[in-house]
Amino acid sequence: MADTIRRVKIWDILVRLFHWSFALAITFAWLSHEWRGPGREWHEWLGYAALTLAGLRIVWGFVGTRYARFGDFLHFPMHYFRYLGQILTGHEKRYLGHNPLGGLMVVALLLLAVAAGVTGYVLSHRGMTLFGLGHRDLEHWHGLIGDAFVVLVPLHILGVVWESVRHRENLVGAMISGWKRAE
């Protein structure tokens, strides 16, 4: 009789729905950022969707299930350097939830979405300012935030591929099903 692999539920339905909805909203908001006329509304609505999703995920990070909580994957600074050193030597620990760098990526992407959503909202209301920044300055910052997504999203994908190969597990499948191999 073949051994069966024991699995454990890691990602709850809210985390999984958030993840894929957020990825789609950010992707299509970025793709539509140059649209003009009626198409411009798509960019705005996708940005509001991403902002709303980020807000929900932040709340879930405090009250959600075990692996969804920030307390499960945010650490003291030395922990990140130690983990990075383990990666560089090929001896990194496998985590059931987010690894330390993955946890930082979650926070970075959420904060970027909030910053993009707030600056975008202010930009869509002519005459409004944010921290004394005028329209032109806000356009600049909003664009930089979009550029940061262009850097961080591929890093996130590379991290997922790296982790999947290193620990021989399908992290994309886990983010769809919610299940991972037990330790």
Other CB atoms within 10 Å distance of the CB of residue 95: 19
Q: Kindly give the confidence (pLDDT) of every residue in the chain, 183 residues in length, as a single tens digit, with 9 standing for 90 and above.
A: 455 779 999 999 999 999 999 999 999 999 998 888 877 899 999 999 999 999 999 999 999 999 999 999 999 999 999 999 999 999 999 999 999 999 999 999 999 999 999 999 999 887 777 888 888 899 999 999 999 999 999 999 999 999 999 999 999 999 999 999 997
Closest by CA position to 160, among listed 112, 117, 98, 115 = 98
Q: What is the pTM of this model?
A: 0.91
**Residue 37, phi-psi category: left (phi > 0), alpha (psi -120 to 50), beta (remainder):** left
The Cα–Cα gap between 175 and 19 comes to 8
Q: For 85, which DSSP code?
A: H
DSSP 140-181: HHHHHHHHHHHHHHHHHHHHHHHHHHHTT--HHHHHHH-EEE
Q: Does domain 7-181 have CATH number 3.40.50.12280?
A: no
What residue spans define the domains of the chain? 7-181
* Residue 158: per-residue pLDDT: 97
Q: Are 62 and 69 in contact (CB under 8 A)?
A: yes
Distance of CA 132 to the CA centre of its chain: 29
Distance CA 96, CA 67 (A): 8
Between CA 145 and CA 164 the distance in angstroms is 28
